[in-house]
Structures are given as structure tokens and as C-alpha cells.
Amino acid sequence: MTNENKNIFLTIALGTMVIATILTVLVYSVFGESAGYFFMIVLAVPSGAISSLILMIIYNAVKAKSNE
């Protein structure tokens, strides 16, 4: 695994944790403990991973376009 791949993987993993944590706290504060726990297990991590991946793709596209 190259250094660039490690950086991309680390960025996506940290983005996933941040987005999932924010979503879980929001659901937990609005709907309560049981709904927050269920949301964290079922939806927060996958939605955080997808969001983080999409943001990374957009960032790389904008960075590549600005280098032209």
C-alpha cells in the first residue's frame, strides 16, 4: 500500500467517524436513547462512509481540475 493510498484510507475512515458521530448525536438528542442506538448500528456508519467517500471524490476532482 502506497503512502497516498494510506492517506486516502485514513481520510475516509476519519471522515466516516466524524459524520457518523454527528448524525448519531443528532438522532440521539431528537429521538432518545433507543432510536439513537439503533440508528448508530444500522444507518450512521454506512451513511458516514458513503458521505465521506463522495466528499473525497469531489475533493480529488476539484484538486485535479485546479492543477490544469
Is pLDDT at 31 greater than 70 in this prediction?
Answer: yes
What are the residue boundaries of the structural domains of the chain, listed by start? 3-66
Is pLDDT at 5 greater than 80 in this prediction?
Answer: no
**Spatial distance between the Cα atoms of 52 and 19, rounded to a whole number of angstroms:** 8
Name which of 58, 35, 44, 43 is nearest 16 in CA terms: 44
- In whole numbers, what is the pLDDT of the chain averaged over residues? 82
**Global pTM value:** 0.71
**pLDDT of amino acid 10:** 82
pLDDT tens per residue, range 11-27: 888 888 888 888 888 88
| Position 1 confidence tier, pLDDT thresholds 50, 70, 90 | low
The arithmetic mean of pLDDT across residues 48-64, rounded, is 84
